[in-house]
Amino acid sequence: MSRTKLAFAMWEKMKNTKNFSQCMKNVQLLSAADGKCKAQFTVAEEHLNLFGTLHGGFTSTAIDVISWCALVTYEREPKSPGAAHVSVDLHITFLKAAFPGEVVTIDAETIRSGKTLAFLEVELTKNDGKDIVARGQHTKFIMTDKQ
DSSP one-letter code for 130? T
Q: Quick: pLDDT tens for 28-63.
A: 999 999 999 999 999 999 999 999 999 999 999 999
Provide the residue ranges of all domains of the chain, joining segments of one domain with +.
3-142
Q: Which has more pLDDT, 103 or 144?
A: 103
Top CATH class of 3-142 equals: alpha beta
SS3 state at 58:
helix
SS3 state at 115:
coil
pLDDT range class, residue 9, cuts 50, 70, 90? confident
Q: Quick: pLDDT tens for 62-96.
A: 999 999 999 989 976 555 556 688 999 999 999 99
CA distance linking residue 145 with residue 147, whole number of Å:
6
Alpha-carbon radius of gyration of the chain: 15
SS3 state at 146:
coil
